[in-house]
Amino acid sequence: MRIGVLLGALILVAAGCSSTHHDPAGAARLVPWDGAVPAQLRVAASAPAPRCQASQLRVVGDGFDFSAALSGGTGEATVRNAGTGTCQLTGRPDVQIVGAVPAPRQRQDPLPAQPPAFPTVAPPDTVLATLPPGAAATLDIDWRNWCVPRASGTPVPPRTIRLTLPGGTGSLDVGYNALPGCDTPGAASTIGVHPFQPAPLASTAPWTSTALRAAIAPLPGARQLRGARGDTVRFAVELRNPSAAPISFDRCPLIVEMLAPAGHPEVHQLNCRAAVCLPATGSLRFEMRIQIPPNAPVGSNGLFWELDPTGGQAPETVSRIMVTDHAAP
């Protein structure tokens, strides 16, 4: 009986990919929305773990990798839970530049959390309350105005950037790759510190090697994409397979979408169970949904969409949503 069921499923898959899935009106089949949270981004509800001790954290790589900004530089470092149990790594550490002779005065400024830049995919911030063994967090700092006071002899550059963890659980010394310039002689060097954030998901193998095409379109019956602040907008993305071979959805890629300029990346999973496969020289239309932020500007907003953000990062397509202040009557 089980063999018969499996054979029937195989025949169904083969039949489903033997044509281009066009309905009599010529539109590709619409695969319904699946609002399930992707497995990679699920965080089990549990009480916060004890705070991470410095002794159980390890710096990944060489430490802070600074890139030039309009003034100074912005750097990111990654730390990993190398212990055997979960621990909490929330909040922001105290940051000091250590070992410079002579050293300018230092001032630390707290900065807000920054959402991942599109199309980066990261777990929700709640994972930091119970960071499991092997998981990582990132820390971003903005370093400005390193003006060495005049002194006899050759100045000695900083030895390290020291992070004193929240809750008094020790400190970590982290390397760095560059010093910021001197913009205002005599003024303090400023270090803007963001909170710890979950590290992005690791890269995966591309979901497919086929160069798919994608296009955003309104759902049937709608002339354009539009919605009010705070609403959820429904739309469709058509994936087209230009190759002569069908593409299976045995592995199910993520998708990432964002409404600019006020939105943050939203990560979802395709409804691969309903799609089954993408037929040769054919297409499928997937229902999508995106939340309009309450502070989105009224008028035209950019809609960005990308398939397989942790793998092939393609295809990507761009459209727009007309945002109104209130829902239409």
Output phi, psi for 273, to 5 deg: -60, -40
Other CB atoms closer than 10 Å to residue 117's CB: what's the count?
10
Residue 292 has a pLDDT of: 97
d(CA 53, CA 105): 28
Q: Are strands 106-110 and 189-193 parallel, antiparallel or unpaired?
A: parallel
What is the pLDDT, as a whole number, of residue 239? 97
Map residue 41 onto helix, strand or coil. Answer: helix
Q: Which of 305, 294, 117 is nearest to 200 (CA)?
A: 117
**CA distances, 179 to each of 31, 69, 97, 325 (Å):** 52, 12, 11, 46
- Rounded to 5 degrees, what angle do the CA atoms 73, 75, 81 make? 165
- Phi/psi for 199 (5° steps) reads -70, 150
Amino acid at the residue 284? L
What b/e sequence results for 272-308 when a residue is b if at least 16 CB atoms lie within 10 Å of its CB, and e otherwise? bebbbbbbbebbbbbbbebbbbeebeeeebebbbbbb
The CA-CA-CA angle for residues 143, 148, 153, to 5°, reads 145
What tens-digit pLDDT sequence spans the chain (329 residues)? 334 433 333 433 444 565 444 443 445 789 999 988 998 898 887 888 999 999 999 999 999 999 988 788 999 999 999 999 999 999 999 999 999 999 999 999 999 998 889 999 999 999 999 999 999 999 999 999 999 998 778 889 999 999 999 999 999 999 999 999 999 999 999 999 999 999 999 999 999 999 999 999 999 888 899 999 999 999 999 999 999 999 999 999 999 999 999 999 999 999 999 999 999 999 999 999 999 999 999 999 999 999 999 999 999 999 999 999 976 55
Domain with CATH 2.60.40.10 in the chain: 203-324
pLDDT at 326: 75
* Domain 203-324, CATH number (from 3.20.20.150, 2.60.260.20, 2.60.40.10, 1.10.10.520): 2.60.40.10
Residue 129, token pair as written in the block = 């309350």
CB atoms within 10 A of CB 25: 6
> Do 325 and 228 touch, CB atoms closer than 8 A?
yes
6: helix, strand or coil: helix
Q: Which two tokens stand for residue 213?
A: 């095409």
Among 199, 198, 189, residue whose Cα is nearest residue 109: 189
Phi then psi for 204, rounded to 5 degrees?
Answer: -125, 165
- The pTM assigned to this predicted structure is 0.84
